[in-house]
Each structure stands twice: as structure tokens, then as C-alpha cells.
Amino acid sequence: MATLQEQRQAIAAGMAASRAPTAEAERKAIGKRIIEERTGKAVVEDLNRLTTPARQRSSLRPVGAVGALPASVGRGVYQEPAATTGGIASPLAEDVTLLEGKYYPDREYWPEGHTSSDGLFVLPAIKILNLRDANDAVVQIFLADPEGTIE
């Protein structure tokens, strides 16, 4: 069995061995802190954290030369518009019907017509007006009964 002195020496050696890595790291940290205090680096960083940083100025993009454009050759490809655009192509022309050598407008009339306010005249009232647009499509206009009757 070891003597009391040997036991104490073993304990001291074990403690020194366990503290050696921490002591070295601690010494390095202390040295670093002393250098920072001497150079004022920590103070500058603290002050910069308190203020808003100045906005970085960026340079403007370069502007091209001003003046006439140089001559160039271009080419365009014509595309004819579609025949059916979903609308009515202007101008509108009224359809006509040929009867016994005479042209008559292609219309339908209300049977009662339209009576004048004094009751002396009965004028024909158009019910359906048949037209053709510039694309030769049929356009029909349905007009209301002027007497207010509904069919």
C-alpha cells in the first residue's frame, strides 16, 4: 500500500493533468482579451452596434449614347386578321329580296303596326331586321313591339 505522501502526490498529479487543457485555453483567452482591450477593437464593435450603419452608395448604370439610331434593316411578317373575331364587322348592309323584278328589304313586321298618337295613321313597325356585315355574316336585329304586346 502507498504511503500518505505518495497518495497525495498522485492526487496532485491527477488534478494537474485534468486542469492542463483548460488552463491553456484560459491563458489564450486572457491573452486575446488583453490584446482587444489594448487595440480598442471591442469598443469600436460596441459603438458600431449602437449606431445604424451608413447606407452603401451604389454607382448608376451607364447610359447609352444619345442621338439618332443607326440605320438597320428590319422585316415584318403580315398576318391577316381572323375572319371570325367574335364581333360584327363594319359596315352593315341590309339584305334585300328580289320579287317580280323589284328589290324589297328583308324585314319582318309586327302585324298590328304602330298607331299614331291621334289614331289617324297606322305605320308599319319592324320586328326583325336582317343585315350582313363586312365578313358576309348574317346579323339579325330583333326590335320590340311598339304597342307593348309580347308574342
Which residue type occupies 42? A
| Count of Cβ atoms closer than 10 Å to residue 1 Cβ | 4
Residue 131 is assigned to a structural domain of this protein: yes
pLDDT of residue 151: 55
In sequence order, the 6+-apart residues with CB closer than 8 A to the CB of 95 are 105, 106, 130, 131, 132, 138
Residue 108 is assigned to a structural domain of this protein: yes
Strand partners, 115: 122
**pLDDT, tens only, 3-48:** 989 999 999 988 888 777 777 788 888 888 888 888 877 788 888 8
Residue 60 is assigned to a structural domain of this protein: no
Closest CA to 91 of 138, 142, 132, 129: 132
Q: pLDDT class for 128, splitting at 50, 70, 90?
A: very high
Residue 25 is assigned to a structural domain of this protein: yes
Residue 29 is assigned to a structural domain of this protein: yes
Say whether pLDDT at 150 is over 60.
no
Closest CA to 147 of 109, 99, 94, 103: 109
Q: What is the rounded average pLDDT of the residues 128-144? A: 88
Full domain range(s) for residue 105: 93-142
Residue 112 is assigned to a structural domain of this protein: yes
Tally of domains in the chain:
2
**pLDDT, tens only, 65-93:** 777 777 788 878 887 766 665 778 888 89
Residue 98 is assigned to a structural domain of this protein: yes
Residue 74 is assigned to a structural domain of this protein: no
Cα–Cα distance for residue pair 24/17, rounded to 1 Å:
12
